[in-house]
Amino acid sequence: MASNGNADLAARLTLDGFDSFNTAFRAISRRAQQRFETKDWAGGLRDAAERLDSYESTLDRVVIRLEQTLGPLAREQSIWVAAKPRFARLVAQRYDIDRAETFFNSVTRKMLRTIGINREVEFFYLHPKAAAPQRAETVYRTYAKATDTASLVRNILGEFTFGIGYENIKRDAERVAQEIDLHLWPVAGPDKPYVIDIIKVIFYRNKEAYIVGRIVVDTRTIPLIIPLASGDAGVYADAVLLHESEASIAFSFAYSYFFVDMERYDALLEFLRSILPRAELAGLYTSLGYNRHAKTEFYRDLHRFVHVSKEEFVIAPGLEGAVMIVFTLPHFDFVFKVIKDRPCFLRSKHETLKEITQDQVRSQYDFVSHRDRAGRMVDTQEFENLRFKTKRFSGALLVEFAHAANANVSITEDYVIVRHVYVQKKVLPLPIYFKTEKDPEAIRRILRDFGYFLKDLAASGVFPSDLFNTWNYGVTHWGRVVLYDYDDVLPIERITFREKPAPRNESEETRPEEEWICATEQEFFMDEIERYSGIPGPLKGVFKAMHGDLYTLDFWNDLTERLRAGEVFDVTPYDRSKRFHGHDASATTAARARGSTELHTP
Q: Which residues are catalytic?
A: 379
Rounded distance between C-alpha atoms, residue 338 and residue 47, angstroms: 30
- Please choose, from the candidates 94, 95, 93, 75, the residue with its C-alpha nearest in 3D space to the C-alpha of residue 83: 75
Rounded distance between C-alpha atoms, residue 459 and residue 480, angstroms: 17
Rounded distance between C-alpha atoms, residue 198 and residue 215, angstroms: 9
C-beta of residue 179 within 8 angstroms of C-beta of residue 242: yes
- Please choose, from the candidates 458, 437, 459, 456, the residue with its C-alpha nearest in 3D space to the C-alpha of residue 446: 437
Rounded distance between C-alpha atoms, residue 114 and residue 264, angstroms: 31
471 by Cβ neighbours in 10 Å (0-12 / 13-18 / 19+) ranks as: middle
Report the DSSP pairing between strands 208-217 and 195-199: antiparallel
Rounded distance between C-alpha atoms, residue 374 and residue 447, angstroms: 18
Bridge partners, residue 198, by sequence? 141, 213
Rounded distance between C-alpha atoms, residue 78 and residue 63, angstroms: 17
Rounded distance between C-alpha atoms, residue 438 and residue 297, angstroms: 37
Rounded distance between C-alpha atoms, residue 477 and residue 428, angstroms: 8
Which residues, at least 6 apart from 484, have a Cβ–Cβ distance to it below 8 Å?
A: 377, 378, 424, 427, 472, 473, 474
Q: Kindly state the helix (H) or strand (E) to which residue 342 belongs, with its residue range.
A: none
**Residue count of the chain:** 602
Which residues, at least 6 apart from 387, have a Cβ–Cβ distance to it below 8 Å?
A: 115, 116, 117, 415, 416, 417, 418
C-beta of residue 405 within 8 angstroms of C-beta of residue 320: no
- Please choose, from the candidates 445, 437, 431, 438, the residue with its C-alpha nearest in 3D space to the C-alpha of residue 542: 445
C-beta of residue 254 within 8 angstroms of C-beta of residue 486: no
Rounded distance between C-alpha atoms, residue 574 and residue 247, angstroms: 9
C-beta of residue 501 within 8 angstroms of C-beta of residue 529: no
- End-to-end, the C-alpha distance of the chain in Å comes to 63
481 by Cβ neighbours in 10 Å (0-12 / 13-18 / 19+) ranks as: buried
C-beta of residue 584 within 8 angstroms of C-beta of residue 232: yes
Rounded distance between C-alpha atoms, residue 181 and residue 184, angstroms: 5
- Please choose, from the candidates 47, 69, 438, 72, the residue with its C-alpha nearest in 3D space to the C-alpha of residue 261: 47
